[in-house]
Chain A
Amino acid sequence: MFEIFGIPSTALFGQLLIGLINGSFYALLSLGLAVIFGMLNVINFAHCAQYMMGAFAAFLLLNLTGLGYWGALIVAPILVGIFGIIVERCLLQWLYKLDHLYGLLLTFGLVLIIEGVARNFYGSAGLPYTMPESLQGGQNLGFMFLPNYRAWVIVASLTVCLATWFVIERTRLGAYLRAATENPTLVRAFGINVPLMITLTYGFGVALAAFAGVMAAPIYNVSPQMGSSLIIVVFAVVVIGGMGSIMGAIVTGFGLGIVEGLTKVFFPEASNTVIFVIMAIVLLVRPAGLFGRRA
């Protein structure tokens, strides 16, 4: 153990680790928001509720069907993704021709409904979700203690983020997607089923949120309001990064998580607000966001 700027290394790296964990959730969620906004022109306020649904799905799968963590990591995002597809077909699809604001308002209404229902059945207190046995314990790296599960969360979310980036930026499917974002009418004229693509994109974005939710379940307690405080930070992340670029969303998400972790070490009172302060500074210096394009 040694000290850096008078802070014991275990504390410093411990907070950095927590920052990275938060950063992976910011990255996963802002990535989903950016993908959805690109295709649907809707800011999905319900992203936080769908993140919470992912955690709840994992909890219910374990307690009702006995399906463990690894199964839930696959099944929960699919279930919540299907829910997302139903929402898109029944509700969101009527709003595409209207002002963006109506999409925000509708999905905000969904948050109230989903969180309210969850609170009625499970109360506001958190429900515990045990870690899978294979990921319990941790490694002593000398300068810090690294719990296995936290290492897994960072690796898994980084992999999913990069895979998403690869699919969107480097494959044919991604090319269709980007083209449909720019000009849906023209892409339809080429014989590509754009409405289906929009529906599946929303389902995918929602599934990403649910995936984050399942990964968060063993770290934080599963509770109805676990998403709503997170979504506002993610909005700030999106404002800072700009929604124009997938890689931008990933980099900003992880970067801000680390900054937040460091703030917790050096100036703990500001750890809740540091991201908002950064947002204000970015707005003053680069109003379009770090990776954004001027509209």
Chain B
Amino acid sequence: MEARTDAVSAAPPVPAASWRNWSEPIAFAVMVALLALAPMYFYPMFVMQALCFALFACAFNLLIGYGGLLSFGHALYFGWASYLAAHSAKVWGFPPELAILTGTLTGGLFGVVAGALAIRRQGIYFAMITLAMAQMMFFFALQMKFTGGEDGIQAVPRGKLFGLIDLANQTNMYVTVAAIFLAGFLLIQRVIHSPFGEVLKAIRENEPRAISLGYKTDRYKLLAFVLSATLAGLAGSTKAIVLQIASLTDVDWPMSGEVVLMALVGGLGTVFGPVVGAFIVVAMQNYLAQVGQWVTVIQGVIFVLCVLLFRRGVIGELAAYMRIKL
């Protein structure tokens, strides 16, 4: 797995083999090492929760960072995927891998519908449409019976992965979540560096020019949207299995805002930024719990400061300072 990413990210034409060309693989190796060490130093549930959100933020970043499309309604895919995963595991008795698959496909399906509508408008309207669609589906979640309304779906069984690995065991669960996260992360990285990703960046920079070059930009945007929604669904379903709960919080609009915050703090359009941002935001929520409601205010202040002063985010600033790509 490691060797494959190396081959992908190493830029071929530079003659002097500088370590800077290897910045992404090196950072990836550091990340894997940190993931292996993390459960010894931190509460594993915290790390697993943060990993789910990290994948969610990476999926969101694929749209804004590389396609220039700000979706303000990503809670829709995350939340509904987590409902379907929880419901299929608890009521239909699906094993975890099938429950996660069900949730992921739900995210993708909603992505097709909402994406097809949202890409009909650009810029600021795109953000408002995605937000409105998400709010509509929030009301559906509130009214439908199977979601459990205000209570959500609680006590979701973790089950046995492939009928063999018991996920009630914390270590097994941790390894599974880490594997899902890394797979999703590598897929996104592969997409970013693929020809498809390059077209996406071209659309972000100048859509009329991309059209005049003969690219059917709507198709590219829709595909990116569906991909992003599907991966957000993967994150949401995994979260439902890990935390054993799916609730209204996951589909409500503050969740959409939170994922924007994660990507923004870490760095929009950077590969590793959303991961760092997700860990910062989730850590803030867990460790600042004693200040209660003020967490929202602190998040708001961070939003304002990031937009005014640190638009590149933590990883973006670091990469600019070290003159590397991260």
Contacts and interface: CB of A to CB of B under 8 A. Distances in A.
Given A111-B300, A116-B293, A283 B117 contact: yes
A160 interface: no
A228 interface: yes
A106 B136 contact: no
A284 B264 CA distance: 31
A18 to B, nearest CB: 18
Interface residues of B, number: 41
Interface in B282-326: 292-297, 299-304, 306-308, 311
B227 interface: no
A280 B115 CA distance: 11
Contacts of B311: 98, 102
A142 B135 CA distance: 38
Contact of B136 (A43, A110, A273): A273
A109 B135 contact: no
Interface stretch (B4-12, B27-35, B126-134, B180-188): B126-134
Interface in A270-295: 272-273, 276-277, 279-280, 283-284, 287-288, 295
Interface in A66-125: 91, 94-95, 98, 100-102, 104-106, 108-117, 119-120
Contacts of B307: 95, 102, 105-106, 109
A113 B123 contact: no
Interface stretch (A6-14, A54-62, A180-188, A231-239): A231-239
Contacts of A104: 70, 72, 124, 127
B133 to A, nearest CB: 7
B260 interface: yes
A110 B304 contact: yes
B304 A101 contact: no
A133 interface: no
Nearest to A100: B124
A295 B264 contact: no
Secondary structure of the A side of the interface?
helix
Contacts, number: 116
Interface residues of A, number: 44
A100 B123 contact: yes
Given A277-B136, A283-B121, A119 B300 contact: no
B25 to A, nearest CB: 31
Given A102-B311, A112-B257, A283-B121, A43 B296 contact: no
B272 interface: no
Contact of B117 (A120, A280, A295): A280
B120 to A, nearest CB: 4
B139 interface: yes
Interface in A115-174: 115-117, 119-120
Contact of A276 (B124, B136, B306): B136
Nearest to A117: B297
A243 B111 CA distance: 26
Contacts of B122: 295
B136 A112 contact: no
Contact of A113 (B132, B143, B301): B301
Interface of A: 37, 43, 91, 94-95, 98, 100-102, 104-106, 108-117, 119-120, 228-229, 232-233, 235-236, 238-239, 269, 272-273, 276-277, 279-280, 283-284, 287-288, 295
Given A105-B307, A112-B299, A239-B128, 10 more contacts: A95-B307, A105-B260, A108-B260, A109-B301, A113-B296, A116-B300, A117-B297, A235-B131, A283-B121, A283-B129
